[in-house]
Amino acid sequence: MISTNDFHTGITINMEGEIYSVLEFQHVKPGKGAAFVRTKLKNLRSGSIIEHTFRAGEKVAKAHLERKEMEFLYREDDLFHLMDLETYEQITIPGDKIGAGVKYLKENDRLNVLMHGEEVVGVDLPVTVVLKVADTEPGLKGDTASGATKPATMETGLVIQVPLFVNSGDLIKIDTRSGNYIERA
Protein backbone atom coordinates (compact mmCIF):
# COMPACT_ATOMS: atom_id res chain seq x y z
CA MET A 1 0.00 0.00 0.00
CA ILE A 2 1.12 3.52 -0.74
CA SER A 3 -0.23 6.83 0.51
CA THR A 4 -1.48 9.36 -2.01
CA ASN A 5 0.87 11.83 -0.29
CA ASP A 6 3.79 9.76 -1.67
CA PHE A 7 2.63 9.83 -5.31
CA HIS A 8 5.18 10.73 -7.97
CA THR A 9 5.08 10.65 -11.76
CA GLY A 10 5.54 7.15 -13.16
CA ILE A 11 4.44 5.21 -10.06
CA THR A 12 2.07 2.31 -10.81
CA ILE A 13 -1.01 1.59 -8.72
CA ASN A 14 -3.67 -1.11 -8.65
CA MET A 15 -7.16 0.40 -8.44
CA GLU A 16 -10.43 -1.49 -8.97
CA GLY A 17 -8.54 -4.43 -10.51
CA GLU A 18 -6.84 -2.26 -13.15
CA ILE A 19 -3.21 -1.16 -13.32
CA TYR A 20 -2.62 2.57 -13.69
CA SER A 21 0.49 4.69 -14.11
CA VAL A 22 0.43 8.18 -12.58
CA LEU A 23 1.01 10.72 -15.39
CA GLU A 24 0.31 13.88 -13.38
CA PHE A 25 -0.64 14.67 -9.81
CA GLN A 26 -1.41 17.80 -7.83
CA HIS A 27 -1.83 18.17 -4.08
CA VAL A 28 -4.66 20.64 -3.41
CA LYS A 29 -5.29 22.19 0.00
CA PRO A 30 -8.39 24.35 -0.25
CA GLY A 31 -8.96 27.10 2.30
CA LYS A 32 -11.93 25.24 3.68
CA GLY A 33 -12.39 21.46 3.75
CA ALA A 34 -10.01 18.53 3.52
CA ALA A 35 -6.96 18.37 1.28
CA PHE A 36 -7.06 16.11 -1.76
CA VAL A 37 -4.84 14.83 -4.58
CA ARG A 38 -5.98 15.38 -8.18
CA THR A 39 -4.39 12.87 -10.61
CA LYS A 40 -4.27 11.96 -14.27
CA LEU A 41 -3.87 8.17 -14.63
CA LYS A 42 -3.12 5.96 -17.64
CA ASN A 43 -4.63 2.48 -17.74
CA LEU A 44 -1.70 0.25 -18.77
CA ARG A 45 -3.97 -2.46 -20.19
CA SER A 46 -6.26 -0.34 -22.37
CA GLY A 47 -4.15 2.82 -22.80
CA SER A 48 -7.04 5.07 -21.77
CA ILE A 49 -6.38 8.13 -19.60
CA ILE A 50 -8.66 9.07 -16.72
CA GLU A 51 -8.73 11.78 -14.09
CA HIS A 52 -9.30 10.71 -10.49
CA THR A 53 -9.37 12.56 -7.18
CA PHE A 54 -8.11 10.94 -3.96
CA ARG A 55 -8.41 12.16 -0.39
CA ALA A 56 -5.04 13.28 1.00
CA GLY A 57 -3.37 10.39 2.83
CA GLU A 58 -5.67 7.76 1.27
CA LYS A 59 -3.98 4.36 0.86
CA VAL A 60 -3.85 2.75 -2.59
CA ALA A 61 -2.43 -0.66 -3.58
CA LYS A 62 0.89 -0.35 -5.38
CA ALA A 63 1.25 -2.44 -8.55
CA HIS A 64 4.59 -4.16 -8.84
CA LEU A 65 5.81 -4.29 -12.43
CA GLU A 66 8.83 -6.24 -13.55
CA ARG A 67 10.90 -5.05 -16.50
CA LYS A 68 12.37 -7.92 -18.55
CA GLU A 69 14.76 -7.55 -21.45
CA MET A 70 13.54 -9.60 -24.39
CA GLU A 71 14.53 -10.20 -27.99
CA PHE A 72 12.03 -9.88 -30.83
CA LEU A 73 12.19 -13.15 -32.79
CA TYR A 74 9.55 -12.89 -35.52
CA ARG A 75 6.09 -11.62 -36.43
CA GLU A 76 3.15 -13.80 -37.41
CA ASP A 77 0.20 -11.69 -38.61
CA ASP A 78 -0.54 -9.45 -35.58
CA LEU A 79 1.32 -11.65 -33.08
CA PHE A 80 4.86 -10.88 -31.98
CA HIS A 81 7.08 -13.67 -30.68
CA LEU A 82 9.63 -12.60 -28.05
CA MET A 83 12.29 -14.50 -26.09
CA ASP A 84 13.29 -13.80 -22.48
CA LEU A 85 17.08 -13.31 -22.54
CA GLU A 86 17.56 -14.83 -19.07
CA THR A 87 15.36 -17.95 -19.20
CA TYR A 88 15.11 -18.35 -23.01
CA GLU A 89 11.33 -18.79 -22.63
CA GLN A 90 9.29 -17.57 -25.56
CA ILE A 91 6.10 -15.52 -25.24
CA THR A 92 3.63 -14.25 -27.82
CA ILE A 93 2.00 -10.85 -27.49
CA PRO A 94 -0.54 -9.06 -29.70
CA GLY A 95 0.59 -6.00 -31.67
CA ASP A 96 -1.70 -3.66 -29.75
CA LYS A 97 0.49 -4.13 -26.64
CA ILE A 98 3.39 -2.64 -28.63
CA GLY A 99 1.23 0.06 -30.20
CA ALA A 100 2.76 2.35 -32.81
CA GLY A 101 6.18 0.86 -32.06
CA VAL A 102 5.54 -2.15 -34.31
CA LYS A 103 6.88 -0.19 -37.29
CA TYR A 104 10.27 0.21 -35.56
CA LEU A 105 10.82 -3.48 -34.80
CA LYS A 106 12.92 -5.83 -36.85
CA GLU A 107 14.04 -9.34 -35.99
CA ASN A 108 16.66 -9.67 -33.21
CA ASP A 109 15.90 -6.21 -31.75
CA ARG A 110 15.97 -6.02 -27.96
CA LEU A 111 13.23 -4.32 -25.97
CA ASN A 112 12.03 -4.01 -22.38
CA VAL A 113 8.73 -5.71 -21.60
CA LEU A 114 6.69 -4.58 -18.58
CA MET A 115 5.19 -7.58 -16.79
CA HIS A 116 2.61 -7.71 -14.00
CA GLY A 117 2.93 -11.32 -12.83
CA GLU A 118 2.70 -13.29 -16.06
CA GLU A 119 0.72 -10.60 -17.93
CA VAL A 120 2.40 -8.27 -20.42
CA VAL A 121 1.15 -4.72 -19.76
CA GLY A 122 3.47 -2.74 -22.00
CA VAL A 123 6.60 -2.59 -24.09
CA ASP A 124 9.39 0.00 -23.97
CA LEU A 125 11.21 0.40 -27.26
CA PRO A 126 14.83 1.53 -27.42
CA VAL A 127 15.15 5.33 -27.77
CA THR A 128 16.79 4.97 -31.18
CA VAL A 129 16.76 2.24 -33.83
CA VAL A 130 18.83 1.73 -36.95
CA LEU A 131 16.79 0.80 -40.02
CA LYS A 132 17.64 0.29 -43.67
CA VAL A 133 16.00 2.56 -46.26
CA ALA A 134 14.03 0.25 -48.57
CA ASP A 135 12.79 2.87 -51.01
CA THR A 136 13.21 6.59 -51.61
CA GLU A 137 13.81 8.95 -54.53
CA PRO A 138 17.45 9.21 -55.65
CA GLY A 139 19.52 11.62 -53.58
CA LEU A 140 21.12 14.82 -54.80
CA LYS A 141 24.84 15.02 -54.17
CA GLY A 142 25.87 17.99 -52.07
CA ASP A 143 22.32 19.02 -51.18
CA THR A 144 22.71 19.22 -47.40
CA ALA A 145 22.27 22.91 -46.64
CA SER A 146 18.72 23.46 -47.86
CA GLY A 147 17.08 21.44 -45.05
CA ALA A 148 14.56 19.99 -47.52
CA THR A 149 13.24 16.49 -46.92
CA LYS A 150 11.66 13.65 -48.87
CA PRO A 151 9.65 10.58 -47.82
CA ALA A 152 11.51 7.29 -47.34
CA THR A 153 10.11 3.82 -46.70
CA MET A 154 12.10 1.72 -44.21
CA GLU A 155 12.59 -2.06 -44.29
CA THR A 156 9.77 -2.43 -41.70
CA GLY A 157 7.24 -0.42 -43.75
CA LEU A 158 7.66 2.76 -41.68
CA VAL A 159 7.57 5.97 -43.76
CA ILE A 160 9.50 8.99 -42.43
CA GLN A 161 10.89 12.24 -43.79
CA VAL A 162 14.66 12.17 -44.48
CA PRO A 163 17.15 14.68 -45.91
CA LEU A 164 17.60 14.73 -49.70
CA PHE A 165 21.05 13.09 -49.59
CA VAL A 166 19.72 9.80 -48.11
CA ASN A 167 19.49 6.97 -50.68
CA SER A 168 17.87 3.54 -50.86
CA GLY A 169 20.03 1.00 -49.02
CA ASP A 170 21.38 3.52 -46.48
CA LEU A 171 21.22 2.68 -42.79
CA ILE A 172 19.76 5.53 -40.75
CA LYS A 173 19.16 6.16 -37.05
CA ILE A 174 15.59 7.06 -36.04
CA ASP A 175 14.20 8.41 -32.76
CA THR A 176 11.34 6.06 -31.72
CA ARG A 177 9.70 8.70 -29.51
CA SER A 178 9.14 11.23 -32.29
CA GLY A 179 9.65 9.17 -35.45
CA ASN A 180 12.26 11.64 -36.72
CA TYR A 181 15.45 11.02 -38.69
CA ILE A 182 18.57 11.58 -36.55
CA GLU A 183 21.58 10.67 -38.70
CA ARG A 184 23.07 8.12 -41.04
CA ALA A 185 24.36 5.06 -39.20
pLDDT digits (tens, 9 = 90+) for 61-86: 998 888 889 999 998 888 999 999 88
Report the top-level CATH class of 2-62.
mainly beta
Q: What's the CATH code, domain 66-124? A: 2.40.50.140
Q: Is there a contact between 167 and 150 (Cβ–Cβ < 8 Å)?
A: no
Q: Is there a contact between 82 and 70 (Cβ–Cβ < 8 Å)?
A: yes
Q: Which residues contact 109 (CB under 8 A, 6 or more apart)?
A: 71, 72, 126, 129
pLDDT for 25 equals: 92
pLDDT for 139 equals: 66
Q: What's the CATH code, domain 128-184? A: 2.40.50.140
For residue 134, the tally of other CB atoms under 10 A from its CB is 15
Using 70 as the pLDDT threshold, list the residues of the chain that sit under it: 139-146
Considering the chain, tell me which residue range(s) the CATH 2.30.30.30 domain(s) occupy: 2-62
pLDDT for 81 equals: 92
